Structure 1
Amino acid sequence: MFFILSKTLGNALAPVNFLIGLGVLGAILSATRLSSLGRGLMITAAVLLVVAAFSPAGRLLLYPLESRFPPWDPGQRAPDGIIVLGGSIDANVSLARDTPVVRRSPDRIIAAAALARQYPNARVVFTGGSPRLVSDAREADYAAALFASLGVDRSRLIMERQSRNTHENAEFTKALVAPKPGERWVLVTSAFHMPRSIGLFRKAGFPVEAYPVDWWVGGRRDALSFTTLALDGLSRTDIAVREWFGLIAYRVTGRIDDLLPGADEH
Structure 2
Amino acid sequence: MFFYLSKILFFLIRPTNFLIILLGLGLLLRLGRWPRTGMTAIVASFLGLVILGFSPAANLLLQPLEDRFPQPASLPQVYGIIVLGGAVDTVTSGARGEPALTSSAERLTTVAGLARKLPDAKIIHTGGQGLLVPGQTTESAVAVELFTDFGIDPERIVLEDKSRNTWENAVFTRDLVKPKPGQTWLLVTSAYHMPRAISVFRAAGWSGLTAWPVDYRTRGPDGKYLGFAGASEGLKRFDIAFREWIGLAAYWLTGRGTEFFPAP
Counterpart of 2:227 in structure 1 is 226
Residue 181 of structure 1, CA deviation:
1.4
- Structure 2 CA distance for aligned equivalents of residues 101 and 83 of structure 1: 21
Does 1:117 find its partner at 2:122?
A: no
Residue 74 of structure 1, CA deviation:
3.2
Contact 1:19 1:49 in 2 (8 A): yes
- Structure 2 CA distance for aligned equivalents of residues 146 and 185 of structure 1: 21
Counterpart of 1:176 in structure 2 is 176
TM-score, normalisation: structure 2: 0.96
In the TM superposition, what are the counterparts of 1:42-121 in structure 2 within 5 Å? 42-74=42-74, 77-121=76-120
In the TM superposition, what are the counterparts of 1:1-266 in structure 2 within 5 Å? 1-74=1-74, 77-135=76-134, 137-207=137-207, 208-263=209-264
Identity %: 45
Task: Look up the equivalent residue of 2:95 and give its one-letter code.
Answer: A
- Structure 1 CA distance for aligned equivalents of residues 146 and 263 of structure 2: 31
The number of aligned residues is: 262
- Structure 2 CA distance for aligned equivalents of residues 238 and 91 of structure 1: 21
- Structure 2 CA distance for aligned equivalents of residues 257 and 183 of structure 1: 20
Runs of 4+ residues deviating >4 angstroms: none
Residue 113 of structure 1, CA deviation:
2.3
Q: Which one is further off, 160-169 or 177-186?
A: 177-186
Query: Could you report, residue by residue, the CA deviation over 1:57-98 in whole angstroms, capped at 9, with x for unpaired residues?
Result: 0000001111111112436x5211000000000111111001
Unmatched segments (≥5 aa) in structure 1:
none
Q: Which one is further off, 202-211 or 189-198?
A: 202-211
Task: Look up the equivalent residue of 2:92 and give its one-letter code.
Answer: V
Contact 1:72 1:212 in 2 (8 A): no
Task: Look up the equivalent residue of 2:119 and give its one-letter code.
Answer: P
| RMSD of equivalent CA atoms | 1.1
- Structure 2 CA distance for aligned equivalents of residues 110 and 134 of structure 1: 26
Task: Look up the equivalent residue of 2:240 and give its one-letter code.
Answer: I
Task: Look up the equivalent residue of 1:170 and give its one-letter code.
Answer: A
Task: Look up the equivalent residue of 1:246 and give its one-letter code.
Answer: G
Helix, strand or coil: the match of 2:216? coil
Task: Look up the equivalent residue of 1:197 and give its one-letter code.
Answer: A
Residue 186 of structure 1, CA deviation:
0.2
- Structure 1 CA distance for aligned equivalents of residues 199 and 172 of structure 2: 15
Task: Look up the equivalent residue of 2:122 and give its one-letter code.
Answer: R
- Structure 2 CA distance for aligned equivalents of residues 198 and 89 of structure 1: 21
Helix, strand or coil: the match of 1:206? coil
Query: Could you report, residue by residue, the CA deviation over 1:183-214 in whole angstroms, capped at 9, with x for unpaired residues?
Result: 11100000000000000111111121100111
TM-score, normalisation: structure 1: 0.96
- Structure 1 CA distance for aligned equivalents of residues 125 and 73 of structure 2: 21
Helix, strand or coil: the match of 2:211? strand
Task: Look up the equivalent residue of 1:241 and give its one-letter code.
Answer: F
Residue 99 of structure 1, CA deviation:
1.2
- Structure 1 CA distance for aligned equivalents of residues 77 and 131 of structure 2: 36
- Structure 2 CA distance for aligned equivalents of residues 235 and 149 of structure 1: 31
- Structure 2 CA distance for aligned equivalents of residues 209 and 238 of structure 1: 27
Contact 1:86 1:126 in 2 (8 A): yes
